[in-house]
Amino acid sequence: MRPEILVSEVGPRDGLQSIDRIMPTEQKKAWIAAEAAAGVCEIEVGSFVPPKLLPQMADTAEIVEFACTIPGLAVAVLVPNLRGAEAAIKSGAHKITLPLSVSESHSLANLRRTHDQVIEDARAIAALIDDQPEGKRPHFEGSLSTVFGCTLEGAIPLPQILSLAERLMQAGCDEVGLSDTTGYADPLAVRAMIRAVRGAVGVKALTGIHLHNTRGLGLANVLAALDEGLDTIDSSLGGIGGCPFAPGASGNIVTEDLVFMLQAMGLQTGIDLQKLLEVRKILAEGLPGEPLYGFTPDAGLPLGFVPEDQEKIKEAAK
């Protein structure tokens, strides 16, 4: 059953692609299996990019095939183009994300693709998915990257963002997502962007957001997104990751801190927080010496902390 708030773990993809060290395949599998056992029900396990560009992702097909054997886990991947989508579908991925940077400069640096080329890829991927047997069609998300600003271009005009969101949906995406690739977002900007994009593509076409904690506003931005009705939040165990093609864009929000905040608010995540904290040991063993972040893991849970039941909170508020 889908939780009230879906925490989508992106560390095995967005986290590991930003680290020079390559995590051994078996430890990746152990990480993913342990997070799933803790109740995380969606994990972005890798990306189908050329190994010469990101050798950290060279084993993605094997990782996807393994992850698909875990009951109840939605296996997500990132693809840069049609070829990547073909590999993702062949491996059995349940969700495919195609990034479209609203900054064309960043798109060229990240994907080596213009906006028009990415839209063409989206159209081809949607057609490929439609050709799959019923029950074998992955969910298709078009991610609006650098949507809150770009380290190469600065602020991106809102009409350009909205036009690209509309074009992704017209090309056949099931939904669009917002991605603060550069860590520029603030709560007011998050609220305004969600309202604007939903005004262009509809409420059901935007449910998730990918935020960074580059300037310490990650969880504040999550609260703004929740207040606007989004129910899917990306995060990374230990806060590892960023974007190798956006200078200074370090720091995904920390999964452990996010889950603690949500549960302290009485929101249902379906995640056993104590088990989640234990998963860090696997990450530390697989990436020895790599800095891991998070206030909750360092401080521990408050004495007597018990995740609140949302229904009880609603009753108490009456």
191 in a structural domain: yes
Q: How confident is the model at residue 251 (pLDDT cuts 50, 70, 90)?
A: confident
Rounded to two decimals, the pTM is: 0.93
Q: How confident is the model at residue 248 (pLDDT cuts 50, 70, 90)?
A: very low
295 in a structural domain: yes
Task: Determine the Cα–Cα distance for residues 285 and 37; give it in Å rounded to an integer.
Answer: 18
Asked whether the beta carbons of 123 and 99 are under 8 A apart, the reply is no
1 in a structural domain: no
115 in a structural domain: yes
Q: Which sequence positions are flagged as catalytic?
A: 243
How high is the pLDDT of residue 249?
44
302 in a structural domain: yes
Average the pLDDT over 4-13 and give the result. Answer: 97
Task: Determine the Cα–Cα distance for residues 33 and 28; give it in Å rounded to an integer.
Answer: 9
Mean pLDDT across the chain: 92
Whether 34 shows a pLDDT value over 70: the answer reads yes
Average the pLDDT over 97-120 and give the result. Answer: 92
Whether 260 shows a pLDDT value over 50: the answer reads yes
CATH number for the domain that contains residue 284: 3.20.20.70
Q: What is the pLDDT of residues 211-238, one digit of tens each?
A: 999 889 999 999 999 999 999 999 999 9
Q: What is the pLDDT of residues 156-194, one digit of tens each?
A: 999 999 999 999 999 999 999 999 988 899 999 999 999
How high is the pLDDT of residue 242?
59
- Max mean pLDDT among 15-19, 250-254, 313-317 falls in 15-19
How high is the pLDDT of residue 250?
58
Angle at the Cα of 166 from the Cα atoms of 125 and 179, rounded to 5 degrees: 80
Residue 254 main-chain phi, psi, to 5 deg:
-85, 125
Domain that holds residue 282: 6-317
How high is the pLDDT of residue 294?
92
Asked whether the beta carbons of 113 and 121 are under 8 A apart, the reply is yes
Whether 47 shows a pLDDT value over 60: the answer reads yes
Whether 309 shows a pLDDT value over 70: the answer reads no
237 in a structural domain: yes
207 in a structural domain: yes
3-state DSSP assignment of residue 17? helix
Q: How confident is the model at residue 43 (pLDDT cuts 50, 70, 90)?
A: very high
Q: How confident is the model at residue 283 (pLDDT cuts 50, 70, 90)?
A: very high
For strands 175-179 and 232-235, give the pairing: unpaired
230 in a structural domain: yes
How many independent structural domains does the chain possess? 1
